[in-house]
Amino acid sequence: MPLLVLVLLVPLIFLALLPFLLIQRYRAGKARRQARPWVATVNIAVMTFSAVFFLMSAAFTTFWVPRAVVGATMGLAAGLLLGLLGLLVTRWEATPSSLHYTPNNLLVLLVTLIVTARVAYGLFRSFEVARAGMTGAALVDAFGVPQSLGAAGAVMGYYLAYNIGLRWRIRRWERRALRRL
C-alpha cells in the first residue's frame, strides 16, 4: 500500500514542482557564464548524437504516426535557425584571460516557453482524451505527436546550433589571444 501511494504521489509532486523547475531553467539559461572549450565540445557531441537518434526515432515513428519525421525535421531546422539568431544576439565579454557570454533573455524565454507550452498542451489533451474515452488513431491525433516532435526538435536544434557557434567563437578568441603573445 505505501508503495502504491508513493507511485501515485511522485507524478503529482512533479506536476506541482514543474513551474518552479521551469523558472529555474530560465534563470540558469540566461546567466552569464565562462566559455569553456571542453564544455562546448561535449555539448556538441551529445546534441549531435541526440539529434541523429531523435531523427531516426521520428522516422521509425512514421510507421504509426503520419508526418512524424516531417514535424521533427521542421522543428530541428527551425531550432537551428533560432540557435543562429541566439548567437547573433548573445552578449560576449572577451578579456585577455577569459571569454564570457550571456545568452539573450528573450530567446531563452522563448525556448523555455516552447517546452512549457508542449507540457501544458499534453496535460490538457490528456484530460480531454480521458474524458472523451478515445482510443487508437483518435488518441494519436489528439496528442499532436508531429507537433510535439517539432517542439522537441526546435529545442534540440537551438542548443546544437548555439553550441557549435559557441565553440567556433571560443576558437576565434583563442587564436586572437595567441597572436598577442
Task: Give pLDDT, residue 143.
Answer: 62
Task: Give pLDDT, residue 137.
Answer: 57
Average of pLDDT values for 26-37?
Answer: 91
Domain ranges of the chain: 32-180
- pLDDT tens digits, 144-180: 788 889 999 999 999 999 999 999 999 999 888 565 5
Q: Would you state the cell numbers that stand for residue 109, as one nine-digit string?
A: 524565454
> Amino acid identity of 80?
L
Give the whole-angstrom CA distance, residue 130 versus residue 69: 27
pTM of the prediction?
Answer: 0.83
Give the whole-angstrom CA distance, residue 129 versus residue 44: 38
Give the whole-angstrom CA distance, residue 55 versus residue 70: 10
Q: Give, for 100, the enclosing helix (H) or strand (E).
A: strand 99-102
Strands lying side by side in the sheet with 91-94: 33-34, 99-102, 91-94
Lowest-pLDDT range, 30-34, 60-64, 104-108, 137-141?
137-141
- pLDDT tens digits, 46-105: 999 999 999 999 999 988 888 899 999 999 999 999 999 999 999 999 988 899 999 999
Could you tell me the end-to-end alpha-carbon distance of the chain, in angstroms, rounded to an integer? Answer: 69
* pLDDT interval class at 122 (50, 70, 90): confident
Whether residue 116 contacts residue 22, with contact meaning beta carbons closer than 8 Å, is answered with yes
Residue 81 contacts by C-beta under 8 Å, 6 or more apart in sequence?
157, 161
